[in-house]
Amino acid sequence: MADAPARTPSAPAAPAGDTPSPEGSAAHLVLDGLVKTYPGKDGAAVRGVDLAVERGRMLAVLGPSGCGKSTTLRMIAGLVEPTAGRVRVGGRDITDAPVHRRDMGVVFQSYALFPHLDVARNVAFGLEMRKTPKADLKRKVAEALELVRLGHLAGRRIAQLSGGQQQRVALARALVVEPAVLLLDEPLSNLDAQLRAAMRDEICRIQRETGVTTVFVTHDQQEALSMADRVAVMNHGRIEQTGSPEDIYERPARSFVARFVGRANLLPGTAEGQDGDHTLVALDGLGRVPAAGEPVARGGTATVMLRPHRIALSPAAGGTGAVRGTVLSAGYAGETVAYRVRVGDDGPLLDVERPTGTQEPFGPGAEVELTWDHAAPRLVSDEDGDSEGSR
């Protein structure tokens, strides 16, 4: 929108009121210990969520279906009343403010466009509620539709739009009022695969252009990793880990995160001491493996994560000391081959993923040597989110 350049994502101006976050930057949206227990249900849907989103940034809440993502989003929007906890925007506590005074732009999973109004009047709705003067209103509606590239469809009925177009109208309707925060609930889940990729870029572009602080919820790890500045992985009503997409993928703190974001071999073992900033872990069949990550005391149980694509395979040579294995199956998938490899004679099963075209694929029964670089094994904690507060 041409008239909203005040918020630039690159230089968050941190106006008075934003809560200083530990990293020293300003958090625009802060969730503080949010809990939701639905009446008549035992167990809370959301069990203490703390999150902070910097002004102008995009946070993805990623988690399996039913983990409480929508409930969290609805508590921010004011559509669900929290059982406990606070919601702050720009330093102002809005926990008790009614929905219509919150100044949130919400895009619903079903889009929730008004079927009895045309595209332009859908977009104008929020401005009408704000008593925007007529001339301004027309200009802003036109600009918002231009932003989502739907200017030519202003007079269309909702029933006459495709799914992708409805999605854009929903975005324009939420953004035209220049909300404090944009909330998106599974914004791409109702689109087919091709359109999903296009809208993913589109949402990122729009978010960058408007610089609106954004929270979106998804169960799709690729969506979360590729779109968001920060990702919060959620499970059973708690945040398991918050970090940059690289953090989440390369340095998962818990086995749940490692498993849910990407594919992972998770190998149980025993810590045998430190080697620099690596912990030496004795793994069944693999010997002593140095792994990076939160150190584990000597003698403690430790879980090592090894991403399938970080393991290299080579034909077994006579040498000793290398990890040897037998290929059980090889699944060709175009760009990669997915192997299952039995380590030793009765060692663990490992998933291995190799790019095609670099080496002759191995067939089932092939004897191979497995290698990985020093940084590949990571220690992950096995704790369930129950035993400890979430980060």
Ligand X SMILES: Nc1ncnc2c1ncn2[C@@H]1O[C@H](COP(=O)(O)OP(=O)(O)O)[C@@H](O)[C@H]1O
How distant, in Å, are the alpha carbons of 34, 48, 57, 174, 179 from that of 68? 11, 11, 22, 23, 24
Mapped onto helix, strand or coil, the DSSP state of residue 258 is helix
221 touching another protein, by CB under 8 A? yes
For the segment 45-64, give every residue that binds another protein (CB under 8 A).
64
Considering only residues 234, 261, 302, 343, which one is a binding residue for another protein as defined by CB under 8 A? 261
Is position 232 an interface residue for ligand X (rule: CB under 6 A)? no
Nearest CB to another protein, comparing residues 130 and 391: 130
Residue 291 structure tokens: 């792994």
Is residue 38 close enough to count as binding ligand X by CB under 6 A? yes
Stretch touching another protein by CB under 8 A, among 48-56, 154-162, 269-277, 295-303: 154-162
Q: Which of 14, 154, 195, 204 binds another protein (CB under 8 A)?
A: 154
Footprint (CB under 6 A) of ligand X, residues 50-69: 63, 65-69
Q: Is residue 198 near another protein by the rule CB under 8 A? A: no
CA 90 to chain centre: 23
2-12 per-residue burial string, b: 16 or more CB within 10 A, e: under 16: eebeebebeeb
272 burial (CB, 10 Å; 0-12 / 13-18 / 19+) is middle
Give the Cα separation of 76 and 87 in Å (integer): 6
Query: Would you count residue 97 as binding another protein (CB under 8 A)?
Result: no
Q: Do the bridges between strand 104-107 and strand 92-93 make them parallel or antiparallel, or are there none, so unpaired? A: unpaired
Residue 341 corresponds to which amino acid?
A: V
Tell me which residues in 68-127 interact with ligand X (CB under 6 A): 68-71
* Site for Mg ion contains 242 (CB under 5 A): no
Q: What is the DSSP string of 138-197?
A: HHHHHHHHHHTT-GGGTT-BGGGS-HHHHHHHHHHHHHTT--SEEEEESTTTTS-HHHHH
50, 118, 146, 272: which one binds another protein (CB under 8 A): 118
Stretch of residues binding Mg ion (CB under 5 A), selected from 70-78, 122-130, 172-180, 253-261: 70-78
User: Is 46 or 161 the residue whose CB approaches ligand X more closely?
Assistant: 46
> What are the C-alpha distances in Å from 353 to residues 44, 273, 312, 372?
39, 30, 8, 12
120 counts as binding another protein under rule CB under 8 A: yes
Least CB distance to ligand X at residue 70 (A): 3
Residue found by looking up tokens 């969506």 in the block? 223
Q: Which is nearer to another protein, 44 or 108 (CB)?
A: 108
Lookup result for tokens 């079903």: 110
Burial 313-352 (b: 16+ CB within 10 A, else e): beeeeeeeeebbbbbeebeeeeebbbbbbbbeeebbebbb
The answer to whether 70 contacts Mg ion (rule: CB under 5 A) is yes
52/18 Cα distance (integer angstroms): 11
Q: Which of 82, 260, 281, 347 binds another protein (CB under 8 A)?
A: 260
Report, in Å, the least distance between residue 109 CB and ligand X: 9
Q: Minimum CB separation from ligand X for residue 187, in Å?
A: 13
Size of the site for another protein (CB under 8 A): 57
Report if residue 193 touches another protein, rule: CB under 8 A: yes
Dihedral sign from CA coordinates of 219, 225, 227, 229: positive
> Cα–Cα distance between 226 and 278 in angstroms, integer?
29
Q: Which does 16 bind (CB under 5 to 8 A by kind): another protein, ligand X, Mg ion, none?
A: none
Binding site for ligand X (CB under 6 A): 38, 41, 45, 63, 65-71
Binding site for Mg ion (CB under 5 A): 70
Binding site for another protein (CB under 8 A): 64, 77-79, 98-106, 108, 110, 112-116, 118-121, 125-126, 129-130, 154-157, 159-160, 173-174, 177, 192-193, 221-222, 258-266, 329, 331, 333, 338, 340, 349, 351
